[in-house]
């Protein structure tokens, strides 16, 4: 049977973005209220992690890894021209992700090393499959994407190792967040100006976003240096200086992409607003060594604002473009994104803030949950159903000139 025959299995497993984006949204809805109950002492979980470690691990290596996998297994076929991973292999990969979540929660009754093996298997499989596709497609220049994804897998292994040997994770907490932030710098730095340029060109805009150049390379190098310092020495004043400098560089980088010109398109502007959380989070982390902010506040601005905001914006856009729907956010998805950014702001305020008897942490959790619940309700049916349009769901999600092709992430 030809590899290019039409796919006839469940639509959910026809492309990587479908199961993993749906799982990420649903997991975001469930995991944060679950953590809130644990934090309030009303619930306990088994497994090898301390409660705070479980929360951090699952948001970075559970939610975050699912979004990374969904993005890559959708983008790589566009880069390589090869057929996507779909059907049974994709379902098995998805099963590995679920296995990791169950193991980390202690539901499988595995010893610590067994939990480590079950959980790390998912990212190891993702790395192997992405490497196979890029090499088979001879798409050599995109091999570089394997570096941060491999680092994410190593950070996950280190997280388990620290939990087993030291009782709690430390360096690996920040490393996992840092890798996701760098992926936003790297991939967001391609897709945000690219999609903005396409939109402005259709609107007849005169000034366009500045294309990727040497300044962007300087921003990436500065971001890498600052994030590395934060991972290894978060209390160092040198780290603080590097983080502040990197934050300023990324403010200037964002300003070159003409975000204010696309205010009329909320779906596009979300990408700019989410990227703005990167320099905001770097600046917040820079304030920690000088005693101006608590470490948890800075980490949550990066985690909720930058990672949560950008991944939600990307999932919305990909779900629309690759399911044959118009790229229009609508009220529900615009509200979902606003709620997640609001959650980032309230988490910065912390337990000291209060409204109607709710502290800032509880309010933040409520806004995050409501935002992703809205997103799941809207995106879920799209992700589980076949692509709209005259063509059936086939090996590729787009035609040469179709909407999904126009939305394909730049190589």
The pTM (predicted TM-score) of the whole model is 0.92
CA distance 356 to 342: 17
DSSP character at residue 49: S
Rounded-to-integer distance, Cα 368 and Cα 174, Å: 21
Alpha helices, DSSP H, located in 2-43:
17-39
Which one-letter DSSP state was computed for residue 410?
A: P
Structure tokens at 357: 């008897």
> Are the C-beta atoms of 163 and 116 separated by less than 8 Å?
no
Q: Which of 328, 406, 314 is nearest to 20 (CA)?
A: 314
The answer to whether 186 touches 148, Cβ cutoff 8 Å, is yes
- What are the C-alpha distances in Å from 242 to residues 114, 228, 283, 302? 39, 10, 10, 16
Question: Distance (Å, rounded) from C-alpha 62 to C-alpha 147?
Answer: 19
Task: Tokens for 240, please give them.
Answer: 């603080």
List b or e across 92-102, with b for residues whose CB sees 16 or more CB atoms inside 10 angstroms: ebbebbebbbe
Which residues of the chain register pLDDT less than 50? 1-4, 391-406, 408, 410-411
Pick from 256, 397, 277, 253: nearest CA to 348: 277
Quote the pLDDT of residue 355.
64
> For residue range 266-288, what is the model confidence (pLDDT) as tens digits?
999 999 999 999 999 999 999 99
d(CA 93, CA 43): 30
CA 57 vs. chain centroid, Å, equals: 14
């Amino acid at each position: 049977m030809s590899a290019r025959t039409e796919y006839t299995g469940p639509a959910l497993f026809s492309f990587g973005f479908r199961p993993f984006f749906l799982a990420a949204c649903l997991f975001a809805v469930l995991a944060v209220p679950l953590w809130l109950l644990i934090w309030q002492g009303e619930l306990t979980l088994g497994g090898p992690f301390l409660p705070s470690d479980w929360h951090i691990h699952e948001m970075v290596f559970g939610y975050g890894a699912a979004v990374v996998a969904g993005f890559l297994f959708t983008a790589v076929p566009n880069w390589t021209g090869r057929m996507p991973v779909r059907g049974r292999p994709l379902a098995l990969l998805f099963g590995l992700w679920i296995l990791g979540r169950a193991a980390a929660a202690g539901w499988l009754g595995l010893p610590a090393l067994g939990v480590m093996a079950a959980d790390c298997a998912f990212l190891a499989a993702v790395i192997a499959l992405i490497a196979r596709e890029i090499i088979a497609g001879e798409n050599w220049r995109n091999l570089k994407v394997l570096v941060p994804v491999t680092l994410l897998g190593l950070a996950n292994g280190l997280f388990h190792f620290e939990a087993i040997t030291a009782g709690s994770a430390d360096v690996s907490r920040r490393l996992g967040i840092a890798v996701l932030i760098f992926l936003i710098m790297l991939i967001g730095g391609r897709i945000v100006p690219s999609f903005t340029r396409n939109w402005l060109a259709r609107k007849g805009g005169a000034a366009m976003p500045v294309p990727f150049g040497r300044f962007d390379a300087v921003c990436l190098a500065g971001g890498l240096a600052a994030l590395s310092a934060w991972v290894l020495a978060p209390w160092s004043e040198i780290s603080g200086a590097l983080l502040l400098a990197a934050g300023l560089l990324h403010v200037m980088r964002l300003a070159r992409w003409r975000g204010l010109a696309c205010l009329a398109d909320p779906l596009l502007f979300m990408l700019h607003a989410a990227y703005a959380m990167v320099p905001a989070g770097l600046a917040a982390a820079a304030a920690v060594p000088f005693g101006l902010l608590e470490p948890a506040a800075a980490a949550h601005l990066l985690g909720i604002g930058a990672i949560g905001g950008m991944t939600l914006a990307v999932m919305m856009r990909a779900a629309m473009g690759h399911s044959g729907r118009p790229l229009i956010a609508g009220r529900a998805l615009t509200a979902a994104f606003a709620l997640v950014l609001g959650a980032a702001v309230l988490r910065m305020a912390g337990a000291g803030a209060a409204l109607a008897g709710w502290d800032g942490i509880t309010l933040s959790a409520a806004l995050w949950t409501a935002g992703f619940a809205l997103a799941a309700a809207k995106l879920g049916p799209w992700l589980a159903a076949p692509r709209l349009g005259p063509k059936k769901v086939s090996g590729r999600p787009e035609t040469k000139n179709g909407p999904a092709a126009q939305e394909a992430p730049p190589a």
